[in-house]
Copies of this chain bind each other. A is one copy, B any other.
Amino acid sequence: MQQLIHSLGQQARQAARQLARAETAAKNKALEAMAQALLDGADDIISANTRDLDAGKSAGLDAAMLDRLSIDAKRIADMAEGVRQIIALPDPVGAISEMNYMPSGIQLGKMRVPIGVIGIIYESRPNVTVDAAALCLKSGNAVILRGGSEAAHSNRALAACIQNGLRKAGLPESAVQVIPTTDREAVGAMLRARGLIDVLIPRGGKSLTERVASESLIPVIKHLDGICHVYIDDTADIQKALKVAINAKTHRYGVCNAMETLLVAEAIADDILPALASSYLAKGVELRGCVRTRAILADEDIKAATEDDWSTEYLAPILSIKVVDDLDMAIDHIETYGSHHTDAIISEDITRARRFLREVDSSSVMVNASTRFADGFEYGLGAEIGISTDKLHARGPVGLEGLTTQKWIVLGDGHIRG
């Protein structure tokens, strides 16, 4: 298995050199051909997908998993549209910035360049195959894709469309490789492929991400949890607080930037919690509160929160609520129980807002805005490959720029060091 990964890795490395110097037009041409091949190959893709779905049903996959796995004409059209959106994004590769003359006379700047070879390890959603391939290609990287075994036929059919596109644009087909085995050993071999894969991006459930993070000998871009907080300070504008706290929880439940814990300053809790609670309950959100929260709300409206609630990402219509003394206690809570994903303060006080922005150590920190904004599209990155709660290299939504790095460039006229 290590040998298979080694051979795929070496082919990817070769392809990466070609991709790094590929012109934007060639990459866009390949993307357009990919999009067209997906639409033209819809029948093949759907029939491969049917084989996966049949096998999944026999294996007893639940309805949610089967839904994530399934591909129909609408989903194919969405994938093709996603690829065309990536065509429209500016090419990050080759951008030169901060070019200045130094005291020695050399001209020094930075050039944005691809990382090299990206490994993506993901689970049942076959659309990741297309998204990840398109983002890596546009950013000039070769990619090795390892999808879930339950989607093997679908992924192979999608890969055929992708390689069709690469061929049409004269780019190497090994720029995008799908691992041709469902052997679980392949993941382990990828995690050890130092020197062949430059960075790994796991996309899937927490247990997959945890395994990749704990075993990988290669840098990983990931997030484990999205335990996002909204803190309503006693200086908050009540109307803004209500709007943001409702949106952050109820706009969508199953997403990593949804609020999971609401923190409310004691001095404003009586004024805002009853109205907030009735809005949540009207939307069917289950509430779990601390002692002080439960002293304010009616017993039938709220359960007692346990210690575990503060560190749980529900991804569901459930919200934990804690009344805190002040900003210090709110920040302490966030640093203790949070996942460094996205946290917001609602306050009209500029000094408290400045402290929250500086002191909360999360990938996105917000003032008077919904945590739901933490997203590649909202941040103007276009498509995103994921969200990182790591601190190094890429933090927060990761778009094309997060798939690149910078090298220093120096221009001289025979300059030597004295």
Docked pose: A329 CA to B161 CA in angstroms: 34
Asked if residues B410 and A364 are in contact (CB atoms below 8 Å), the reply is yes
- Whether the Cβ atoms of A102 and B379 lie closer than 8 Å is yes
Cross-chain contact of A414 among B251, B368, B416 (Cβ < 8 A)? B368
Chain B contacts for A359, CB-based, 8 A: 17, 20-21
Contact A407 B416 (CB under 8 A): no
Contact partner of A357 (CB less than 8 A), chosen from B111, B199, B364, is B111
- CB-defined A-B contacts under 8 Å, sample of 18: A17-B361, A106-B378, A111-B357, A240-B414, A243-B416, A244-B414, A248-B416, A251-B416, A357-B409, A362-B407, A364-B407, A364-B410, A368-B414, A369-B412, A370-B417, A373-B415, A379-B408, A395-B408
Q: A106-B369, A111-B357 are in contact. Are A408 and B363 (CB under 8 A)?
A: yes
Interface residues of A (CB under 8 A from B): 17, 20-21, 94, 100, 102-104, 106, 108, 111, 113, 115-116, 194, 198-199, 214, 217, 219, 237, 239-240, 243-244, 246-248, 251, 335, 344, 353, 355, 357-359, 361-370, 372-374, 378-380, 391-393, 395-397, 405-417
Taking A199-B392, A365-B407, A365-B410 as known contacts, 4 extra A-B pairs with beta carbons closer than 8 A to each other, sorted by chain A number, are A104-B378, A244-B412, A251-B416, A369-B412
The residue that A358 contacts in the complex, of B94, B372, B392, B415, with Cβ under 8 A, is B94
Looking across the interface, which residue of chain B has its beta carbon closest to that of A358? B21
Residues of B within 8 A of A391 (CB): 115-116, 198, 405
Identify whether the interface residues of A are mostly helix, strand, loop, or mixed: mixed
Complexed CA–CA distance, A380 and B111 (Å): 17
Residue of B whose beta carbon sits closest to that of A246: B416
Nearest-neighbor residue (CB-CB) of A375 within chain B: B417
Is there contact, CB below 8 Å, between B366 and A414? no
Q: A370's contact among B237, B251, B395, B415, by CB below 8 Å, is which?
A: B415
Contact of A393 with B395 in the complex, beta carbons under 8 Å: no
Expressed in whole angstroms, the Cα–Cα distance for A353 and B411 within the complex equals: 9
Q: Are A17 and B335 in contact (CB under 8 A)?
A: yes
* Distance, CA A368 to CA B414, complexed state (A): 5
Contact A106 B373 (CB under 8 A): yes
Which residue of chain B has the shortest Cβ distance to A93 in the bound complex?
B358
The reply to whether A412 and B379 form a contact with Cβ atoms under 8 Å apart is no
**B251 pairs with A392, CB closer than 8 A:** no
| Complex Cα gap A6–B143 (Å) | 37
Q: Contact check: which of B108, B358, B368, B378 meets A413 at CB < 8 Å?
A: B368
Residues on B with beta carbons closer than 8 Å to the beta carbon of A405: 391-392, 395
On whether the beta carbons of B407 and A361 are closer than 8 Å, the reply is yes
